Structure 1
């Protein structure tokens, strides 16, 4: 699974978040092994191909990203922001842009348009398609985006954020960052199709800040008012109404009973699909069906089914027809099994903006916290963690060019990687040194053996192998590594900070400011409670500029400080693989966090 990260405006339903990941890869080519027959329309760039007039074909296409249940229509909260939700929710919402297969920001002109009408100060004007409506017939309009703004501005005191450090009223995954850039509400009228954002200062990823929205008319009803009442409450800071709205926004679209669908009136769609009536079977799948009220290009296939299937079952399920498209965790065994399926299956390889890492928990009472073993104990772990062996044993058989990753905000396949790491990383943690690790443990004063639980989302074969390799090495130094794999990791443990070391992957989009909420003090995705004034200041400087030279210099500072504090240990950029039935058309891999279904509304079977 992927965790989406928040930061500037992010992918999928969450305009501003990075994603949790369990099995993906960083970006570049798409589908280089795909056969020509697998594509009905040859794309000319990274954006969606123009299929012309499309008539929705009867039938169903089945896909799985993993075993976790879909559990939220609102994928924008800190508790629900995952690819397991996003792959479904992306089909239920339309917006001003989407990420193309190469990470390009693609304008969705079927939804609307936008332009910066002034650069200093930055002013951006958005126009929504006159025909854009929710599936219940209500217009997609100004009030939806006013609500979107409010979710990123109001604190739990009912006041507007000053510096983004306050506790948010709405559990928006990106926190209050947007509110520090756009402190005044967007201009527009209730029911109107135009809205204007006046920025207080430049934002690096402004173009990706506003995309889709949640339905304001639903929130208004659940808050005990109407749309005009909700708009007035947002504009006037009515704490009672805002609190009621936030309660629904935070929890009303999160489903704790698998298989129990909400009333259709609560989950209207602005995208090509709606949730099929009775289409959620606990532990099995959720099915979407074509949105008859969608004004844009009709979806190519009537139904999309997202099955909840463990990654280790994907190849067999593809072989026997239970699945039509998969993104299995890339292992040597998986590739060999896929190749045995012959011409009936197309195998596509590529890169994605996804990277594996081991995150320390800095919260008080945890073994690596600064009031416990601290930096010295983190250094001891870094000296015994066999990053190179993990890459050699688990990743290089799939990608011979794979390397240990020594940065977080740039990938080894990106041009800036060498320049950033040359300045920020001195090679101190390249080699395992058990004796040096023992010495650091002794220096920390912590009695051995030191229990350290490495938590991750289970089952996950590759992650369990990573933990086993770490245990074989670090136990020699004086640690007692505990395999903390759990099915509850992404649901509860990570967000609650219930771990010593968290092993997962961030899946991103390539936006330069998207990591701000991960590393900044008090950031919404800073699950390990890391605090650093230099890092927070560098992120602010980066986000406040549109100059690539400034971005590069601040990335160098950020990476240097993260290594100095040993915020975490990056391990590798994921090798990506997708496989699908060869009779499917228009399937294209992507480097971005949406995964294979980024254009699922275009998937069809060859006639």
Structure 2
């Protein structure tokens, strides 16, 4: 599971219709009963002690695109597959269990704790055995370099997220060579999400190294696995056990990541080319559930599907037009059109920060989450877009009201189906929508990350810390969009998010995040659709892996049963 400094984004191929469940039948034509969605701590990983695993074997995954940026703290590095690989090869200071509770990883940390509250000071004691692949020990200098790159004081560093780091006043050596002392200028509740994963100082200590040095390769590693090969021609990345690893020896000989269009995942699994495939969509589930030697594993993940609106250019710069789009899209209709064939009820999602099965969840959408085409028309009238008659786009100053809906060409037919539904709904109120398919390898880097779209749909995943979502909603600074790809924000939202991040009162933080979310809906930042649990087809005999829910995956403990 991805748990990083920034929230991971996942491709539109599964974002658009990879819904919260699987087929309503088990392949025999009989309708399955609707089940409750997995609980917040739900997971299915075929847990076993490592003594039950054989030594050797390979684990093969499909990924959505060739990885172009392995610095996940850089603006182009938030793609989820890159974050998965990096978490397997760089120091992973903290891990979460099935309930999302955070624990220090003893392979890297002897201890990590708040040692002062005024000011807030966090003291880390590093494992003396922990070393980078270049032979240098992990040290306070790595923490300092990462802080300097990510604290926002030097805009030459193209940082995806400065939150948390911007509240640190200094990073210095602790009691000895293995100690780190981090002092905050103001309290920061989610300090455990910082420096995780950790990057080596010598390879990120200048803007050039930080921005470009990790392009298409991980320069240095420091975990149980290292990168073995990058095969751009064959579109595979292979990680292998690092013989210098000081912890328990991994069971697998290799983990292979192979770029495939999402529409090919199921076929590749059935052909035994990969060992795991999403089984969320009915057409996939019906085939995968009958595959020999296959488990269907289910879990509850922080995983939301939404539609992003770009307020940075074109007609959507006007908040009334964005609000009109919100009112014109029947979210229940989009969801229901796909939930009829699923074994899980598909609940509407009315919050950007909390999942329905999570403490803090409440409906913050209000009127901005309601389907009301007449209100949409009224808002467009007020924005100066004149009705041109049924079936025709509205006009203003001689221009037609036209928006582009950007999709990945590597996506599924379901992705296109959702876009076509949105196209019809917006067309009914006088907004013409052109569907624009772009190459899968370019979808994030050249379109989403750069704000080069009007409307698009993807997922934010694994935001167990609410502060991970700060870069999604804060106002961009200059050309740095952070992760607010639609450039929709306000000083009020920034203020509420900063207050929430700075309070150590959990109930007060929840209140502030929900207050911020009310403003996010008002501004028409994005349209939430639903939470997506994990429904995965996994090879039988693969242990300690699958639908992990809120927990992290330790690849050193993943392997095949004897």
Which segments of 5 or more consecutive residues in structure 1 lack a partner in the other structure?
3-10, 42-50, 157-167, 220-241, 256-261
* Deviation larger for 109-118 or 582-591: 582-591
Q: Tell me, yes or no, if structure 1 residue 367 matches structure 2 residue 315.
A: yes
**Shift of the alpha carbon at 1:84?**
1.8
Which of 104, 107, 114 is the aligned partner of 2:104? 107
Q: Kindly indicate whether the alpha-carbon contact (under 8 Å) linking 2:43 and 2:300 is maintained by their aligned counterparts in 1.
A: no
1:308 corresponding residue in structure 2: 259
**Shift of the alpha carbon at 1:451?**
1.0
**Shift of the alpha carbon at 1:200?**
1.4
**Shift of the alpha carbon at 1:126?**
0.5
Q: Tell me, yes or no, if structure 1 residue 407 matches structure 2 residue 351.
A: yes
Q: Kindly indicate whether the alpha-carbon contact (under 8 Å) linking 1:507 and 1:592 is maintained by their aligned counterparts in 2.
A: no
Which of 285, 288, 305 is the aligned partner of 1:335? 285
2:207 corresponding residue in structure 1: 246
Q: Secondary structure at the match of 1:355?
A: strand
**Shift of the alpha carbon at 1:291?**
0.3
Q: Tell me, yes or no, if structure 1 residue 460 matches structure 2 residue 411.
A: yes
Query: C-alpha distance in 1, partners of 2:203/2:368?
Result: 54
Q: Kindly indicate whether the alpha-carbon contact (under 8 Å) linking 1:19 and 1:508 is maintained by their aligned counterparts in 2.
A: no
Query: C-alpha distance in 2, partners of 1:581/1:208?
Result: 32
**Shift of the alpha carbon at 1:470?**
0.9
Q: Secondary structure at the match of 2:128?
A: coil
Question: How has the CA–CA distance of structure 1 residues 91 and 570 changed in structure 2, closer, same or farther, with 3 Å as cutoff?
Answer: same
Query: C-alpha distance in 2, partners of 1:549/1:60?
Result: 45
Q: May I ask how many residue pairs the two structures share in their alignment?
A: 520
Query: C-alpha distance in 2, partners of 1:346/1:185?
Result: 47
Q: Kindly indicate whether the alpha-carbon contact (under 8 Å) linking 2:289 and 2:537 is maintained by their aligned counterparts in 1.
A: no
**Shift of the alpha carbon at 1:59?**
2.4
Q: Secondary structure at the match of 2:265?
A: helix
Query: C-alpha distance in 2, partners of 1:529/1:539?
Result: 16
Q: Deviations over 1:338-370 (max 9, x none)?
A: 11214x10111222111111122111x42110x
Q: TM-score, normalised by structure 2?
A: 0.86
Query: C-alpha distance in 1, partners of 2:490/2:300?
Result: 31
1:184 corresponding residue in structure 2: 170
1:19 corresponding residue in structure 2: 9
Q: Secondary structure at the match of 2:449?
A: helix
Q: Kindly indicate whether the alpha-carbon contact (under 8 Å) linking 1:99 and 1:509 is maintained by their aligned counterparts in 2.
A: no
1:578 corresponding residue in structure 2: 536
Question: How has the CA–CA distance of structure 1 residues 593 and 249 changed in structure 2, closer, same or farther, with 3 Å as cutoff?
Answer: farther
Which of 357, 377, 396 is the aligned partner of 1:438? 377
Question: Which structure 1 residue ranges, 4+ long, deviate > 4 Å from structure 2?
Answer: 24-27
2:179 corresponding residue in structure 1: 194
Query: C-alpha distance in 2, partners of 1:578/1:85?
Result: 20
Query: C-alpha distance in 2, partners of 1:31/1:212?
Result: 23
1:376 corresponding residue in structure 2: 320
Q: Tell me, yes or no, if structure 1 residue 473 matches structure 2 residue 425.
A: yes
Question: How has the CA–CA distance of structure 1 residues 68 and 593 changed in structure 2, closer, same or farther, with 3 Å as cutoff?
Answer: farther
Q: Secondary structure at the match of 1:564?
A: helix
Query: C-alpha distance in 2, partners of 1:593/1:286?
Result: 24
Q: Secondary structure at the match of 1:145?
A: helix
Which of 150, 157, 176 is the aligned partner of 1:170? 157
2:143 corresponding residue in structure 1: 145
Q: Deviations over 1:530-579 (max 9, x none)?
A: 23122111111101101012112212311211222222211111132111
1:319 corresponding residue in structure 2: 270
Q: Deviations over 1:304-363 (max 9, x none)?
A: 1111122222222222211112335x2111111111214x10111222111111122111
Structure with more relative contact order (C-alpha pairs < 8 Å, separation 6 or more) = 2
* Deviation larger for 285-294 or 509-518: 509-518
2:473 corresponding residue in structure 1: 519
Q: Kindly indicate whether the alpha-carbon contact (under 8 Å) linking 1:279 and 1:288 is maintained by their aligned counterparts in 2.
A: no
**Aligned-residue CA RMSD in angstroms?**
2.5
Which segments of 5 or more consecutive residues in structure 2 lack a partner in the other structure?
21-37, 387-393, 395-399
* Deviation larger for 284-293 or 314-323: 314-323
2:513 corresponding residue in structure 1: 555
Query: C-alpha distance in 2, partners of 1:154/1:251?
Result: 18
Q: Kindly indicate whether the alpha-carbon contact (under 8 Å) linking 1:327 and 1:579 is maintained by their aligned counterparts in 2.
A: yes
Q: TM-score, normalised by structure 1?
A: 0.80
Q: Kindly indicate whether the alpha-carbon contact (under 8 Å) linking 1:96 and 1:114 is maintained by their aligned counterparts in 2.
A: no
